[in-house]
């Protein structure tokens, strides 16, 4: 008798503490944000992440163009992330529409973008070292020199494309 009462009390307490989840009708289609959440939970996020990679690549390439234009494209490697941005965007859009492109073109373009981002960190570090005072004048040269960690933004976009290629395709 006591056990039954304790069990009922525990269930009642849990109902008060935990919010009640919305129950779907069996067979009802999942739509909107619930569908997106379900796709993320089950690892089916390839198409969405491909599209996000495409958008991120374009925005990042535009920002890099404006920043490198301030420096008058003094080094020819400054053009590499500007050129790779649209290539990543095309691969992302292709990955959104085609499973084959998501498993071939997108990872190749994304790996190239990641490599270029890591190269950018090295080039920016070298640029800071070449400023007057070099690394000994770190506080000033970090502010006035090339942004040391900015190329990691490009690496992040490439990493999104690599992750999209690994995930399962959503419906």
Per-residue pLDDT of 15-43, as tens digits, reads 555 444 555 666 667 777 887 788 777 77
Q: pLDDT, tens digit, for every residue of 121-130?
A: 999 999 999 9
pLDDT tier, 12 (very low <50, low <70, confident <90, very high otherwise): low
Specify the residue for token string 């080094």: 75
- What mean pLDDT value characterizes the chain? 86
Task: Flag whether pLDDT at 49 surpasses 70.
Answer: yes
pTM: 0.77
Long-range CB contacts (< 8 A, 24+ apart) of 61-65? 61/85, 61/86, 61/88, 61/89, 64/154
Q: What pLDDT, on a 0 to 100 scale, did the predictor assign at position 31? A: 75
pLDDT above 70 as % of the chain: 82
pLDDT of residue 63: 96
What torsion do the CA atoms of 94, 100, 106, 108 make, to the nearest 10 degrees? Answer: -140
Mean pLDDT of 150-163: 95
CA angle 138, 142, 143 (to 5 degrees): 125
Query: Higher model confidence: residue 28 or residue 119?
Result: 119
**Pick the residue with more confidence: 45 or 63?**
63
DSSP letter at 28 equals: P
The number of angstroms, rounded, from the C-alpha of 117 to the middle of its chain's C-alpha atoms is 13
| Residue burial 140-168, b: 16+ Cβ < 10 Å; e: rest | ebeeebbbbebbbbbbebbbbbbbbbebe
Residue range 92-106: mean pLDDT, rounded:
95
């Amino acid at each position: 008798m006591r056990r039954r009462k304790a069990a009922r009390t525990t269930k009642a307490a849990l109902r008060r503490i935990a919010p009640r989840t919305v129950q779907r009708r069996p067979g009802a289609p999942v739509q909107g944000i619930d569908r997106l959440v379900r796709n993320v939970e089950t690892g089916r996020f390839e198409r969405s992440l491909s599209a996000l990679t495409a958008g991120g690549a374009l925005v990042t390439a535009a920002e890099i163009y404006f920043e490198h234009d301030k420096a008058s494209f003094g080094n020819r490697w400054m053009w590499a992330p500007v050129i790779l941005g649209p290539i990543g965007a095309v691969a992302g859009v292709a990955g959104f529409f085609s499973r084959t492109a998501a498993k071939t073109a997108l990872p190749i373009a994304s790996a190239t973008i990641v490599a270029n981002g890591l190269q950018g960190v090295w080039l920016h570090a070298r640029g800071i070292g070449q400023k007057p005072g070099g690394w000994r004048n770190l506080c000033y040269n970090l502010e006035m020199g090339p942004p040391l960690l900015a190329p990691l933004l490009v690496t992040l976009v490439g990493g999104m494309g690599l992750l999209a290629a690994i995930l399962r395709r959503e419906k």
